[in-house]
Structure 1
Amino acid sequence: MEIQEEKQVIEKGEFEVLADASYIDDRTQVLNHCDTFSITSRSGDILPLGKEVQGVYHQDTRFINELRLLLNDQYPVLLSSNIKEANDVLSVDLTNPLIALPDETKLPQGSIHLHRSQLVRNGRFHEKIEIENYLDHQIPLTISLQFDGDFKDIFEVRGLERERRGIYLGYEQLNDRTLKISYRGLDEVVRQCKVVFNRSFSTNESAGRVAFDLQLEPKKLQHIEYSLTFSQEGGSQDEVDYWQSRHANASDLDRGKDYLPIIETSNEQFTHWLNRSKADLVSLMADTPTGKYPYAGVPWYNTAFGRDGIITALETLWVAPKLSRDVLLFLAANQATTLDESIDAEPGKILHETRGGEMVALNEVPFKQYYGTIDATPLFVMLAGAYYERTGDMDTIKRIWPNVQKALDWIYQYGDLDGDGYVEYQHKSKNGLTNQGWKDSHDSVSHANGQLAEPAIALCEVQGYVYSAKLYGAKLAELFNETAKANQWRKSAEKLKIQFNKDFWDEALSCYVLALDGQKKPCRVKSSNAGQVLYTGIADCEKAERLSKTLLESDMYSGWGVRTLSQHEARYNPMSYHNGSVWPHDVALIADGMGQYGYPHNALKLMTGLFDASLFINLQRLPELFCGMDRREGEGPTAYPVACSPQAWSVAAVYLLLRSILQINIDNSKREVSFYKPILPEYLERVVIKNLDLGNQMVNLELTRHGKDNMIGVNWNYEGNEWVLKIIK
C-alpha cells in the first residue's frame, strides 16, 4: 500500500514502518471510528510495554499511551475478550485474583465479576465497567484506573526519530470527577485529553491515577463509566457519555450498511466472512463533506488515501455504487490545481494521502496533502467511467467531468515524462516517496540481478490503468459531445495496447515484466503487478492465457494467494513487505482479471485460497497482507508483523473475489444484468444477494449451483421489463 515500512532514515525519503512497531505478539484488540482508533490489550488495558504501539489515537496523534485497571493494586484475571459482531464494542470479562483484604481475610479468586465495555467515537473513547460480587456477604474493594498520555505523532510511533519534542504539561484535576492531561507541541498547538467520570473518585493517589472505594453488596451490580475526550487548541467537544456515543455509533453503522446489500450463502463460514468484511468496511467509512470515504486501515493508515479509496470502491462497485460516488466526489474536491514539488503535486493529479498531527504541521513529513502517487490519477478516471456504466448517474458525472478532463490532461502533460507513450514516475519532493506505485517501499522495483531500478520508472500495471482510463475517458467524452477528445483518447489507448504488449511482454518468463527503468531497460522479474494487467484489459488474449497459468505456478502461488514476487527472484523474501508477501486486494484484482478473460476456474482457485486463509485468521478479518511462505497442512498463513487490520481494500476483497467467479456486470445504459461464464464451487452451492441497487428499484438475486457440470441458475425478483437478465456460458 502506501508509505509502509518506515525503517529508512528521513534523509533518504523513505517512510517505512519499523518491524519493532509490531503488535502481532500482543494479541491486541482494535476499535476504530473515523479519525479515532484504539489498540488495547485483550484485557482492555493500554500498556507502554514491548513495541509500545498500544494507545488511543486521534487525528494522527496518540493521546493516551497508558490505561490500567487494578483491583486492590492487582491486575484482574482475563476470562474472555471479544469484538462484537457489529465491530463497535470491545467486550471483556474479568475476575479477581486471590486478594488479601484489610481485615486480613482473603478474597477467593473468581468471586468478583468485572465486565468492561469499550468503544470509540470520533474524538472520544468511552468505557463502562460493571462490577458484581458473587459472595454472600459485603466485600470492600478498591478499583483504580491509571491514565497517561505521551501525545506522540503517529510517525514517531511508527519509528521516525525526532530531535526535539514539545512540552508535556502534565495533569490537572478540575474537580472530583474530571482530570485533564495536556501537551504543547512544537507547532504551538496544545493537545489535551479530558477524562470525565460518572461518579466521584475517592482519591487521586498519584498523577493520572484515580481510585473508587466500593462496598460490594452480594449480587448487586455497580458500575463506573468514563469518557476520554480529545481536542486541540482552537477546538472543543461537548461532553457525551457512553450510551450517547454507543447509540450514535449504531446509527452510523446502520447508515453505512445501507451502502451495501445483504449477501447470504449456503456456507455459514463464507457468509460470516462477508458479514465481517461488511462490518469492517463500514467501520472504516468516515464522514466527509462529500459523503463517506473509506479510510485505508488501522493503525498506520487511518486516513484518506487516494489509491486505496479508489480500489476499495472498484472492488465494491457492483454492490455499493454509492460508495464509489462519494469517493469520486472527495477526490475531485482534493485534486491538485498547482505545481508544487514539495508535495509532488501537479495540476490534475489525484491525492495520495492527507494527514494531521504535529509532524505534518511542522513539515517534518510532507503528507498533509501529498500527491506522490503515479496510479491514483488514471484509477480515478477508471472509477468515474465504471461508475457511470454501473449507475447512469449523469448528475455526478457532470459534476466531476472537469476533474476527469484534468486527470487525463495530467496523463499527457505530466505523467508521460519523456513522451514515449508510457506513464512514469520520479519523485521531486525532498522527503517524498521514492517508489510511487502501490508497491511503494524503497526496494520494490528491481532487475533480475536484484539491482534496484533507477527512475523514471514505468510500472506494468500503471500502463494498464492508463489504457483503461483513456477508454473510459473516451466514453464519457461522448456523453458531452466532445467527439474530438473521444477519438483522441480512444486511438491513444489502442496505440498504447499494441506498444505495451510489444515492450513489456517477456517470452522466457511467460509474463509481463515488472517495469521499464529510466533507460527503458525491462525489469525482468515475475511479480503480481503483471497479474493486475489482466484487470484492466490491456493484455492480448493469448498472453492473458499464458499469464494466468504463470501466476498459478508454485513459485508465484503460495497456496493462499499470489505472491508479490516469484520465489525465483533475487529479492524474494516471504517476510518482505512487497517482495514475496501476499496481499488480498492484489489477489482479488488478479482473480477478477482472470474472470474477465474467461478463466473463472483460475479465479476460483484464488478465491478459495483466501477463503481458506480467513478461516485461520482472528475474526475472519483479512489483514493488509501476510507472509508468502508455502501453505502448510493444518496451519494458517504466517502473519506479517505490522500489517493493518482492518484494512479497507483487504476487507473489500471478498466482494471482488465473488464477482471474479460470477463475472456479474450491471450496465445501466443497456439496462442489463449479465453473467459471463459464472461458476460456483462445491462449498458454495447457493448465493442470495438482497437489495441490490439497480437505480429504479432494489432487487434480490439468487444463484444456485446445479449438478456435476456446475450449471448456474439465476433467479431475481425484478418487477417490470426495463431491465433484462443475461447469462453467457
Structure 2
Amino acid sequence: MTEGNTIRILDGSTFVVSEDTGDIEATPSEPTGMFSLDTRFLSRWVLTVNGERLNALSYDDLQYYEARFFLVPGMATHYIDAKLSIIRERMVGGSFREQVTILNHDEKPVDLQVRMDAGSDFADLFQVKDEIVNKKGELYAEAEADRLRLGYRRGNFRRETVISCSRTATYDRNGFSFSVHLEPNEQWSTDIDVQTFALGPGGRDLRMGVRAHGTERLALQHDLQEWIAAAPKVNSECEHLARTYRRSLVDLAALRFSPLSLGGTTLPAAGLPWFMTMFGRDSILTCLQVLPFAPGLSKTTLRILASLQGTRFDDFRDEDPGRILHEMRYGETAAFEEQPHSPYYGSVDATPLFVVLLDEYERWSGDESLVRELEQECRAALKWIDDYADLVGNGYIWYERRNTDTGLENQCWKDSWDSISYRDGTLLPFPRATCEVQGYAYDAKMRAARMAREFWGDPAYADRLEREAAQLKERFNRDWWVDDGQFYALALDPDGRRADVLSSNIGHLLWSGIVDHDRAERIAEHLVGPRLFSGWGVRTLAEGEVRYNPIGYHNGTIWPFDNSFIAWGLRRYGFAEEAAVIANGILDAARYFDGRLPEAFGGYQRELTKFPVEYPTACSPQAWSTGAPMLLLRTMLGIEPHEGHLSVEPRLPIGMGRIEVLDIPGRWGKVDAFARGRLDLHNLAD
C-alpha cells in the first residue's frame, strides 16, 4: 500500500510504514515504523552495505501484507555502474519478517559488511499523533549471542522487540551485522525475524490466543484467497468499477482486527495509520455498508461491542449503562489512564447504530438466534437513549463530555472541534444535539419494535417503541426545520436555537427515515444542488457558509462514506436518479486514487480542479471509505431484503454499462443481480 514514497503493509493489528527503500527512521511526529497494539515496536531499521546507504530502483507492495524493494548502493547517478543489487522482501503477519538478498554482478569477488541499524522508542501511537514522545519508564537493549532484545518497562507494562536472523550475525545494542564474501555472480541472503511481545503481570504475553491471519506467506495468501472467494463477484463493463470493488474487498481484509480479550474474532478497524483498532461507530457503519458482500463481519462486530457495552457511570471514560464504546486502545497511555481509551465511550451515535445494525443484519441473514442472544444489550441501548442521553430533557440525544481533559468535545461523526456552528460561524455551546443522531434514534426504535414483536415475544414493548418513534419524528420535523433555507438544522443548542447551516448531515436523515415525505424532495434538491454537490460528491458543509473550506476536515471536504449513506437514503425516499448522481461522482473520483477512496478529499468544484484534490492527512485505507463502493453498488442496483427474499431494482448512471453482482449471500441462499445504466445524468448534475 503506497502513499507517495511511503510504503505501508499491514495485517490485523500490525502495520509497517517505511520509506521506499524499506528503511525506517522515525521521528516523534511521523507515523513511520512498525506498530502493533498502539505501540511503535521499531523506530529505526536502516540497511547499509559497506557503510553506504541504499537507493531504490523500484518497489512493489505485492499484497497488503508484503512488499519488495529493489535497491543499489549509492546515489541515482551510480545506477548504471552498480555492481551489487539488493532485494528486501518484507511480510507482516503474526510477526514481521524480512529477507535480504544481495547479488554480486561484478567479475571479481567482493567482501561486504552488511549492517542493519535497529532500535525502538516504543512510542505510544497517541504520543506520535501529538508529536510528543515522553517516556516515563525504562528503555533497554540487550545484545545476546543469537538475538537482539529491545524493550521498555514501566511497572507491569512491558513491551519487547526480539530480532533474530537465519545467518550468523554479530549483535550489538544498536543493531546487527554480517561479514559476507561473494564470488562473481553469487548471491547471499538471510531471513530476519522480528517478534513483538506485549507483556503483562508475570511476563505473560497478552496476545496469547489471539488468532493472527497466519505467520507465513502461504497462510496469508490462503486467507486472502478464501476471503475473496467467499465474497460476491462483481463484473462490469465499467472497468474501474470492478477494480475499485476488488481493491475495497482486499483493503477490508487487511483492516480486520482481533481485539486482545476476544481472540479469534475480527471486526473492521477504523483505518491506517492512526486508527488500527476497534471503533464503535466506524465498525458499525462499515458493517452496514458491506452487508451484501461480507455479512460475517456484522455478527462478530455486534458480539464484540455487546461484550464491552457500558455497565456503570464513569466520568473519566464517559461511560453509562447501555452505552456502546467509541474506541479501544492498548498502548501505554491507556494502560496508565493518561487518556481514557480503555475503552472510551465518548460517542453519541454508536449506541443507536448498534440496534440498527442488529436488525439490518437479521433482515439479510435470517440469524434469529443472534437477535435473541443480544436482546438485553439492545434493551440496554434503548434505555440509554431515553434515560442517559437526553441531557436536556426534551426527548433528543445530546452530548457533552464529562472528561474535560482528554475526552472528545464533539461526539458525533464530525468530531473535529469546529464542525458544529451557527450560520454566523460561531460555535454552539454544550450540550449539543446533532440532527443525524436523532434520525438514528428514530430508526433504532422502529427496528427494535420489529425485533420485539417478531423475536422477543413482547408486543407491548414494540407498540411503545413505535409510539415513541412517531412522537420523535413529529417533534423533530417541527423543531429542526429551517424555514428560510428549507432544510434541517445541523444541530440544536441547549436553548433550542438551531445551527442553521446547510450540511451533508441531512442526507443521513433520509436513510434513517425520520424525514417527512413532503419535505424529502427539497432535501434531495439540496444534496445534488450546487452548494453541497461539487461534481465529485456532497460536501460536509455547503459552499457559502461562513466556516466553509474545501479542505476543512468537516467543513467542506467530501467524505466517501458520508456520500454512500446519503445515496442510500435518497433511494429509500425514491430519488434514484439523485442517488445515481452521487454514486457516479464518488466512483469517478475513485479512479484518481487507484481504486482506494481516502477518508476525505477536497470539496473543490469539479470544473475547477478536473480531478479530486487529496486531503493531506486522510487515513488510507480507511474502513468506511473502503465500504463506500459496496454500499453504492447496493444503492445503484436497488438490492434490498424484502420478506425473506432479495429484491433488485437497478437505476444506474449512463456510461456505467452492464453490472453483474453474482452470489449475493443471505437468508435466500445466494442470488445474482444484473443491471444496465440508462440515466441521463448531465441535466441533473447541472
Contact 1:95 1:109 in 2 (8 A): no
Matching of residue 36 in structure 1 with residue 14 in structure 2: yes
Contact 1:349 1:410 in 2 (8 A): yes
Residue 235 of structure 2 aligns with which residue?
264
Q: 1:377 to 1:96 in 2, by over 3 A?
A: same
Shift of 1:703: 3.0
3-state secondary structure, aligned to 2:88: strand
The residue correspondences of 1:572-651 to structure 2 (distance < 5 A) are 572-617=548-593, 619-631=594-606, 635-651=610-626
Give the distance between the partners of 2:214 and 2:369, measured in 1 at CA. 39
Residue 81 of structure 2 aligns with which residue?
109
Shift of 1:26: 6.0
Contact 1:227 1:241 in 2 (8 A): no
- Aligned partner letter, 1:545: E
Greater shift in the superposed pair: 243-252 or 328-337: 243-252
Q: 1:674 aligns with which of 647, 652, 665?
A: 647
Give the distance between the partners of 1:267 and 1:525, measured in 2 at CA. 37
Q: Deviations over 1:533-567 (max 9, x none)?
A: 11111112232211121122222222321111112
Q: 1:458 to 1:24 in 2, by over 3 A?
A: farther
Contact 2:90 2:97 in 1 (8 A): yes
Contact 1:267 1:684 in 2 (8 A): yes
Give the distance between the partners of 1:520 and 1:241, measured in 2 at CA. 50
Residue 467 of structure 1 aligns with which residue?
442
Q: Deviations over 1:330-354 (max 9, x none)?
A: 1111111112122111111111111
Contact 2:234 2:661 in 1 (8 A): yes
Q: Deviations over 1:143-192 (max 9, x none)?
A: 221111111111110016476622222x21111x411111223x442321
Give the distance between the partners of 2:391 and 2:116, measured in 1 at CA. 58
Matching of residue 60 in structure 1 with residue 38 in structure 2: yes
Q: 1:258 to 1:462 in 2, by over 3 A?
A: farther
Q: 1:107 to 1:340 in 2, by over 3 A?
A: closer
Unaligned runs of 5+ in 2: 682-686
Q: Deviations over 1:586-637 (max 9, x none)?
A: 11111111122222222222222222222222x4211111232333567532
Residue 684 of structure 2 aligns with which residue?
none
Shift of 1:681: 2.7
Contact 2:11 2:213 in 1 (8 A): no
Contact 1:128 1:242 in 2 (8 A): no
Residue 161 of structure 2 aligns with which residue?
193
Q: 1:154 aligns with which of 112, 121, 125?
A: 125
CA RMSD of aligned residues (A): 2.6
Q: TM-score, normalised by structure 1?
A: 0.87
Shift of 1:709: 8.5
Q: 2:523 aligns with which of 547, 550, 575?
A: 547
Give the distance between the partners of 2:491 and 2:395, measured in 1 at CA. 14
Q: 1:71 aligns with which of 33, 44, 49?
A: 49
Q: 1:690 to 1:416 in 2, by over 3 A?
A: same
Matching of residue 432 in structure 1 with residue 411 in structure 2: no
Residue 462 of structure 2 aligns with which residue?
486
Give the distance between the partners of 1:99 and 1:209, measured in 2 at CA. 26
Shift of 1:573: 2.0
3-state secondary structure, aligned to 1:152: coil
Greater shift in the superposed pair: 528-537 or 648-657: 528-537
3-state secondary structure, aligned to 1:140: strand
Shift of 1:217: 3.2
Q: 1:282 to 1:241 in 2, by over 3 A?
A: closer
Residue 321 of structure 1 aligns with which residue?
295
The residue correspondences of 1:130-529 to structure 2 (distance < 5 A) are 130-159=101-130, 161=132, 165-169=136-140, 171-175=141-145, 177-185=146-154, 187-201=155-169, 203-204=170-171, 207-233=173-199, 234-236=203-205, 244-257=215-228, 260-288=231-259, 289=262, 291-430=265-404, 431-479=406-454, 480-529=456-505
Give the distance between the partners of 1:72 and 1:508, measured in 2 at CA. 73
Contact 1:126 1:241 in 2 (8 A): no
3-state secondary structure, aligned to 2:340: coil
Give the distance between the partners of 2:351 and 2:79, measured in 1 at CA. 64
Give the distance between the partners of 2:5 and 2:528, measured in 1 at CA. 33
Residue 723 of structure 1 aligns with which residue?
none
Q: 1:112 to 1:426 in 2, by over 3 A?
A: same
Identity percentage of aligned residues: 34
Q: 1:511 to 1:359 in 2, by over 3 A?
A: same
**Count of matched residue pairs:** 670
- Aligned partner letter, 1:427: R
Give the distance between the partners of 1:606 and 1:708, measured in 2 at CA. 13
Contact 1:94 1:113 in 2 (8 A): yes
3-state secondary structure, aligned to 2:386: helix
Q: 1:686 to 1:110 in 2, by over 3 A?
A: farther
Unaligned runs of 5+ in 1: 1-22, 101-105, 711-729
Q: 1:87 to 1:24 in 2, by over 3 A?
A: closer
Q: TM-score, normalised by structure 2?
A: 0.92
Greater shift in the superposed pair: 487-496 or 467-476: 487-496
3-state secondary structure, aligned to 1:452: coil
The residue correspondences of 1:110-129 to structure 2 (distance < 5 A) are 110-122=82-94, 124-129=95-100
